[in-house]
Structure 1
Amino acid sequence: MHDECGVVGITSTENLPLKIYYALYALQHRGQESAGIATYNDRMKLRRGMGLVPEVFTEEDLNSLEGNKGIGHVRYSTSGESKIESSQPLMVTHQKGRLALAHNGHITNSREIRQELEEDGHVFSTGNDTEIMAHLISKYLIKTDDIVTALERSKEKLKGSYAITILIKDKIIGLRDPHGIKPLCYGKHKNGYIIASESAALDTIEAELIGDVEPGEIIVLENQDLKSYKTKQKQKAHCFFEHVYFARPDSIMDGKSNYKCRLQIGKKLGEKYPVPDADLVSPVPDSGITFAIGYSETSGLKYAESLMKNRYVGRTFIMPNQGMREDAVRLKLNAVKPNVKDKEIVLVDDSVVRGTTSKRIIKLLKKAGAKKVHLRVGAPKIISTCHLGIDMANKDQLIAHNSTTEQIKQKIGADSLKYIKINEMLDAMNLNQNELCLGCLNEKYPIKKQDNKTLQTKIKQK
């Protein structure tokens, strides 16, 4: 799986580029391809670049981005190519000025909207749906001269997932899709307000969390005031993977502590799927740590590290191609041999996607002398892809798509394998199934995927 993106918007009475920089640093796990900051102080300024946050911005860059209002973005591409033109925030110029937009999510009907906008004379320079959103909002802004009205009309057209921040003159706007698929929260700091993908970004600038932007809600920050515009919600469908994996454990998301969610799932795994003869329980670092702690607490097994992570190597699934991912696994992890040799290990991981990483890790542990490796997984079987902002493998590449648990166990070389079940996971997190998107687990999506055949028919009819 590839991660999503991270967005932030901040107002302050002081010069704030450094605050945006720190907030983006806290969201770096959400995207490692590119980063960008747009600010406003009489005029709009933009700095974007490929790479990690500290690689993109120099001290000189931050000093040049003076202003007391701004938005930022870290990106992993789910639409559009991995190049500077597709990095964000994306700035567009229209008849009444400029707006900059940062987006996390995926618009399922973007091609249809783009076709309509092109017929209206709009010209596009990238292939990503963020530019389509920016042009759509600009179109209605020209007609109405009111950003809230423009966003309301845009929401009627947009299908898919989105959490966005917008910079327009002296305003910062935050907007979440009507299902609340992608996370977005807001808080207050000493000199203003912040909107961000995760509360961990708020903590970085010492802001106090006020709450989550509700599904379909528009938050407007202007002149150090905060205004909320709420509309009728659709069925909530928060992405369950945010709680289980994508978001930082220290983030509070949709009223839930991600750390507590993962700890409780680990406890449930220990309760339901114990290995009485095991010597220790160990995580796949770093994402399996909290699950393994919970498993240890419930099972009574000793918690110990069997794998050591090279922290100068990024998440393997963020690497743009499979060859790079496989090389990175070897660079990323090494066995702690004194904890492994002649031991029977319960290995706890957050999820299994293709199974290639699990296979390599188990092989690594057994080569280091482990007698047996029992894999316990904190997410249910991933049987289908996501079209709402998570860039997964093709369905045929998902190891659980056409394989039983026993077959998967054989393929990855585990001595036993247990996934948490959907109902067990929900019970552990104390969440209602009707409030989550579980499409990759049960193929029941809150929004249907727009197929090309249907799209071409609609275009021809126009």
Structure 2
Amino acid sequence: MSIETAPDMPPAHPFDDDKLREECGIFGCVGVVDAANFIALGLHALQHRGQEAGGIVTHDTETGFNQARRMGLVRDNFTSQKVMETLPGAIGIGHVRYSTAGSKGQTAIRDVQPFFGEFSMGGAAIAHNGNITNAVQLRRELIERGSIFQSSSDSECIIHLMARSMGRTIPDRMEEALRKVEGAFSIVAMTRSKLIGCRDPLGVRPLVLGKVGDGFVLASETCALDIIGAELVREIEPGEMVVISADKGVQSHFPFRPQKPRFCVFEHVYFSRPDSILGGRSVYETREAIGRELAKEAPVDADLVCPVPDSGTPAAIGFSLESGIPYAMGIIRNQYMGRTFIEPTESIRNMGVRLKLNVNRALIKGKRVILVDDSVVRGTTSIKIREMILDAGAKEVHFRIASPPTAWPCFYGVDTPNREKLLAANMSEDEMCAHLGVDSLRFISLDGLYRAVGESGGRNKAQPQYCDACFSGEYPVEPADMIDAGFQMKTAAE
């Protein structure tokens, strides 16, 4: 196997962007010429889902399995001819990541997926989006039985479970391994000739199937199909496994016990790109509908509706359309600041948000401004933005948030602060308003969010239609490892 790696580099997060971050994006294709080039393009489209590192594995009949893993952005690592020539073949998978499980914020090259394993029936590579909530327990058991781990990632557990399986084929071994896994997973995997895709029974994280020419594609989002000119075939269903080959096409089955799906509702709010399609709905249109619902629930007299760019833009447009208050670009984003920018000295670090966002002073001065953002996590960025708006001469500042208060951490593949650092876990809405120093603060209700994503009756409290644990504290899969580590689940009083 040809392996191309780069030295470990510390990730650069010099400025606290105060956002929840999706763990990763996955992409795979089979039956195409130069699969690595398609994968690089697909990962570039999924870069918003993970910006710390990326990796690609391909297979070629002459060179076998080939792999390249890099720290940093796709555009900086997988665009040179020198690197791409090391990844020949018509089948491959790729992955971009943030670090959640393992060494948070300390990504090492050994943790960069896809992971590769050599089995008796041949090699296989796997890339995982999500989080295994019983990974600590599984890892401990596997190590006691002799497994030697090469990374700190929970995803490596799947490779070791597959190695211990007695299944006759790699898909069989993957099925057996995944039955022992708890949490959330969307997976792309590959053998020498087969591309495999799978979602957990709840379908928490997304995965779609596309077709390009005579080949097939699996990706986290439809925007990754668009960039290579692939046609969306359908979403992979919760609990479904597809095995795809150039000669047999797509073979589908459902190896897990059926459960009521609980797709992550925050994919609609923030994680997915606005030009993607989720559940047959345009993400952009859903976010605009969230803004409309927010305007109905939390009206306020003001002169301008301004988004906090870029994630607040569709909701701000919806708020403006519903309220009749003019929409304006009161905050301008610096599109050219990379994540690394410059080595952050203390004086530069204190500039914080101003390096990424600047207020349109001529527009803001003397106005009552409604700022629409997707979420409030720690509140640090919200305070800085409020200061910038007031410094520019705004008369009033009103925050409208396109999601309910984020009061609980996510354990299903999202980088969430500890609960004590979540503003909404420690303060009421009025207390948060005073803490942020704004004239008013309102969040969309959980029922309002459900209505905006297409559930006309709102949230079914007895059997919620989505995973909304970060808002409700109701976890569809018990986070066993975190409970063992002392995490306190929601009580009846809460």
1:54 alignment partner in structure 2? 75
For residues 4 and 339 of structure 1, what CA distance do their matches in structure 2 show? 37
1:44 alignment partner in structure 2? 65
Matched, 1:262 2:287: yes
Q: Which amino acid aligns with 1:23?
A: G
Structure 2 counterparts to residues 216-295 of structure 1, below 5 A: 216-224=239-247, 225-231=249-255, 232-276=257-301, 278-295=302-319
1:440 to 464, 470, 486: 470
2:27 alignment partner in structure 1? 8
Q: CA deviation at 1:17?
A: 1.3
1:166 alignment partner in structure 2? 189
2:123 to 98, 101, 111: 98
Q: CA deviation at 1:120?
A: 2.9
Q: CA deviation at 1:455?
A: 8.6
Matched, 1:18 2:37: yes
Q: TM-score, normalised by structure 1?
A: 0.93
1:430 alignment partner in structure 2? 454
Matched, 1:65 2:95: no
Q: Which amino acid aligns with 1:200?
A: C
For residues 485 and 432 of structure 2, what CA distance do their matches in structure 1 show? 37
Q: Identify the range of structure 1 (283-292 vs 425-434) with the bigger mean alpha-carbon deviation.
A: 425-434
Q: Is the 8 A contact 2:133 2:481 kept in 1?
A: no
Q: Is the 8 A contact 2:113 2:127 kept in 1?
A: yes
Q: Is the 8 A contact 1:313 1:328 kept in 2?
A: no
1:459 alignment partner in structure 2? none
Q: Secondary structure at the match of 2:123?
A: strand
Q: CA deviation at 1:258?
A: 1.0
2:231 alignment partner in structure 1? 208
1:344 alignment partner in structure 2? 368
Q: CA deviation at 1:326?
A: 6.4
1:178 alignment partner in structure 2? 201
2:52 alignment partner in structure 1? 33
Unaligned stretches of 5+ residues in structure 1: 457-462
Q: Is the 8 A contact 2:303 2:367 kept in 1?
A: yes
CA distance 1:326–1:168, shift in 2 (3 Å): farther
Q: Identify the range of structure 1 (322-331 vs 29-38) with the bigger mean alpha-carbon deviation.
A: 322-331
2:336 alignment partner in structure 1? 312
Q: Identify the range of structure 1 (401-410 vs 306-315) with the bigger mean alpha-carbon deviation.
A: 306-315
Deviations 1:274-303 (A, max 9, x none): 223x11101000000000000111111111
- Give me the CA root mean square deviation: 2.1
Q: CA deviation at 1:100?
A: 1.0
Q: Secondary structure at the match of 2:185?
A: strand
Q: Which amino acid aligns with 2:410?
A: C
Q: Is the 8 A contact 2:398 2:438 kept in 1?
A: yes
Q: Is the 8 A contact 1:183 1:254 kept in 2?
A: no
2:406 to 382, 385, 392: 382
Q: Which amino acid aligns with 2:465?
A: E
Q: Secondary structure at the match of 1:64?
A: coil
Q: Is the 8 A contact 2:135 2:481 kept in 1?
A: no
Q: Is the 8 A contact 2:111 2:153 kept in 1?
A: yes
Q: Is the 8 A contact 1:112 1:455 kept in 2?
A: no
Q: Which amino acid aligns with 2:299?
A: P
Deviations 1:112-166 (A, max 9, x none): 21222223322111111111111112322xx222123222212220001111111
Q: Is the 8 A contact 1:198 1:252 kept in 2?
A: yes
Q: Secondary structure at the match of 2:155?
A: helix
Q: Is the 8 A contact 1:100 1:166 kept in 2?
A: yes
Identity of aligned residues (%): 41
Greater fraction helix? 1
Q: CA deviation at 1:406?
A: 1.1
Matched, 1:152 2:175: yes
For residues 325 and 138 of structure 1, what CA distance do their matches in structure 2 show? 46
Q: CA deviation at 1:235?
A: 2.2
Q: Is the 8 A contact 1:14 1:191 kept in 2?
A: no
Q: Secondary structure at the match of 2:426?
A: coil
Deviations 1:416-451 (A, max 9, x none): 111000001111211355221111111101011114
CA distance 1:36–1:300, shift in 2 (3 Å): same
Q: Secondary structure at the match of 1:264?
A: helix
Q: Secondary structure at the match of 1:129?
A: coil
1:329 to 353, 364, 377: 353
Q: Secondary structure at the match of 1:401?
A: helix
For residues 249 and 323 of structure 1, what CA distance do their matches in structure 2 show? 35
Matched, 1:400 2:424: yes
CA distance 1:453–1:263, shift in 2 (3 Å): closer
